[in-house]
């Protein structure tokens, strides 16, 4: 019945937005007021038309000859991504990876605020790791509901990934950022994004192999 059959936006474009945002924020310090796609493309090693298409999904409007107003563009990207209003998140699994995610201060710039962490290890429960308190896993529901947290970050071992995801869904979480190698089964009312470090490494090592054998 809806007039616009929203197919969403091209994932490759959305993936490039944080790169533009990072670049534009740096540029802000130089006092520049306007920026064109030509300059962005040059500095980031892309072609201008791709930058234009990517930025267009944020609904930003530029002016011929001058380009985009820098601050308006930054706002538009943040708005599109939802990074101007902080998202609260829960983190499950305070191992090496979980601690790193807790400690990574870059997420603040991306509107992500981890409000509580959870683990099964009694030694960790009650501890405070990088300003975040670690709770027992059975407290997820209580804390999630109290603050109506929408995002869950999964940094647990693979063998408990699905059950951890289930707990997050039951607690009302709407989005799961999955750092485990497990393919999660989720209701389609929940969005999930897999961080697959091994995919990235696969590309690196296979290209390294190509480099060597080409000689």
Partner DNA sequence: TAGATTGTTAATCGATTAACAATC
Return residues touching DNA (CB under 7 A): 7, 10-13, 36-39, 46-50, 52-53, 55-56, 60-68
Binding footprint of its own copies, residue count (CB under 8 A): 64
C-beta of 138: minimal distance to its own copies in Å?
A: 25
Site residues (CB under 8 A) for its own copies, limited to 9-48: 9, 11, 14-19, 22, 44-45
Please say which residue, 57 or 160, places its beta carbon nearer to DNA.
57
The listed partner (its own copies, DNA, none) that binds 36, CB under 5 to 8 Å by sort, is: DNA
The crossing angle, in degrees rounded to 10, of helices 11-28 and 70-81 is 140
Residue 105 CA, distance from chain mean position: 13
C-beta of 186: minimal distance to DNA in Å?
A: 19
Q: 63 Cβ partners below 8 Å, 6+ apart?
A: none
Among 27, 81, 125, 186, binds its own copies (CB under 8 A): 81
Burial status of residue 53 (CB atoms within 10 A of its CB: 0-12, 13-18, 19 or more)? middle
The listed partner (DNA, its own copies, none) that binds 211, CB under 5 to 8 Å by sort, is: its own copies
C-beta of 123: minimal distance to its own copies in Å?
A: 17
The listed partner (its own copies, DNA, none) that binds 108, CB under 5 to 8 Å by sort, is: none
Structure tokens at 44: 């980031």
Q: Does 112 bind its own copies (CB under 8 A)?
A: yes
By three-state DSSP, how is residue 15 classified? Answer: helix
- CA dihedral of residues 166, 171, 174, 177 (deg, nearest 10): -60
Among 104, 142, 147, 166, binds its own copies (CB under 8 A): 104
By three-state DSSP, how is residue 181 classified? Answer: coil
90 closest CA partner among 19, 13, 148, 16: 148
- CA-CA distance, 50 to 56, in Å (whole number)? 10
- CA-CA distance, 125 to 80, in Å (whole number)? 37
Site for its own copies, rule CB under 8 A: 6, 8-9, 11, 14-19, 22, 44-45, 80-83, 87, 95-97, 99-104, 106-107, 110-112, 130, 150-151, 174-175, 177, 181, 183, 189, 191-212, 214
């Amino acid at each position: 019945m809806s007039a616009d059959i929203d197919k969403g936006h091209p994932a490759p474009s959305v993936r490039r937005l944080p790169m533009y945002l990072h670049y534009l924020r740096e540029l802000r310090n130089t006092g520049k007021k306007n920026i064109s796609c030509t300059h962005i493309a040059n500095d980031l090693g892309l072609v201008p038309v791709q930058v234009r298409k990517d930025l267009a999904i944020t609904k930003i409007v530029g002016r011929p000859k001058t380009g985009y107003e820098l601050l308006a563009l930054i706002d538009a990207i943040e708005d599109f991504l939802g990074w101007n209003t902080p998202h609260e998140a829960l983190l499950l699994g305070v191992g090496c990876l979980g601690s790193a995610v807790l400690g990574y201060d870059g997420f603040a710039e991306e509107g992500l605020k981890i409000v509580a962490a959870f683990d099964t290890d009694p030694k960790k429960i009650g501890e405070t790791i990088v300003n975040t308190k670690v709770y027992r896993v059975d407290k997820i529901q209580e804390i999630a509901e109290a603050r109506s947290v929408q995002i869950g970050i999964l940094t647990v071992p693979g063998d408990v990934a699905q059950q951890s995801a289930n707990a997050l869904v039951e607690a009302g979480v709407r989005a799961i950022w999955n750092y485990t190698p497990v393919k999660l089964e989720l209701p389609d009312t929940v969005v999930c994004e897999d961080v697959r470090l091994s995919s990235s490494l696969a590309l690196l090592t296979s290209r390294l192999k190509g480099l060597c054998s080409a000689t």
